[in-house]
Amino acid sequence: MNITLLGTTHTPLTKLVTQALRARILSGDIPLGERLIEGRLSDELGVSRMPVREALRELAAEGLVTIEPRRGASVTTFTEQQKRELVEVRATLESLNAKLAAKRHDPEQIAELQRILDEGTRLLEVDDPAQLSRQNFDFHEAIGSVAGNSVLQDTIRSLRDRTAMIFAPISRKRGKENWQEHAAILRAVIEGDAELAGLLAARHVYNAAQLQQGV
């Protein structure tokens, strides 16, 4: 994997390190439970330990990293019950998001969704899980923009990163299916079929987690 040496850039290092580590965690490049050793990460990223330490604290506040006395930092793990609860809540909220998008869509926003969908489909040919993960995030964010409910968007964002960690090992295996499901959701949104859009969005979340749909 190509890792950019962040110490050669001019953007605040803590922000860059946080973004880099978040991307690697959400894409599954750093798996659940893996220890995050400051010295090793600082060498990989080309920065001192301080911005790495600050980034780990920020990611811990977001729930992506767990910091324990004497053990240090590691990628957060979830029990099976926690996974199911996170997925259930996200599926419910993504369903509402898609329903609202189907009711409130406009041509410009739909065009942007189509562009993201086309780019995500193209990226299936590129072996870059982190880039696909970002494109997947952009698709769901764009659905939220069409839906036009800022409270719902803020609530879903708090869940997306944690569920992305759960989905990561599976997403690498079902990339084509993910984007086929995105396409189906978009078609329902374009057609203004709120019930179908909601159903497909909820099913998409359960499929990504490979859990039986309970809604």
**The predicted structure's pLDDT at residue 91:** 96
DSSP-derived pairing of the beta strands 35-36 and 65-68? unpaired
Residue in 82, 73, 87, 78 with CA at minimum distance from that of residue 21: 73
Question: Where in the chain is CATH 1.20.120.530?
Answer: 80-209
Q: What is the dihedral of CA 48, 53, 34, 80, to 10 degrees?
A: -160
- pLDDT over 90 at 4, yes or no: no
Mean predicted confidence (pLDDT) in 187-192: 94
CB-based contacts of 28: which residues, under 8 Å, 6+ apart? 129, 165, 168, 169, 171, 172
- Euclidean distance between CA atoms 127 and 109, whole angstroms: 28
The phi, psi pair for 57, rounded to 5°, reads: -65, -40
- pLDDT over 70 at 126, yes or no: yes
- pLDDT over 70 at 211, yes or no: no
| 127: exposed, middle or buried (Cβ count in 10 Å: 0-12, 13-18, 19+) | exposed
Fold that domain 6-75 belongs to in CATH:
Arc Repressor Mutant, subunit A (1.10.10)
The secondary structure element, H or E, covering residue 166 is helix 150-171
Task: State which amino acid sits at residue 205.
Answer: V
Q: Are 83 and 159 in contact (CB under 8 A)?
A: no
**How would residue 13 be classed by pLDDT, with cut points 50, 70 and 90?**
confident
What predicted TM-score, i.e. pTM, was given to this entire model?
0.80
Question: Where in the chain is CATH 1.10.10.10?
Answer: 6-75
pLDDT tens profile 21-40 = 998 998 888 999 999 999 99
CB-based contacts of 128: which residues, under 8 Å, 6+ apart? none
Percent of the chain past pLDDT 70, that is, above it, reads: 92
CATH number at 80-209 = 1.20.120.530
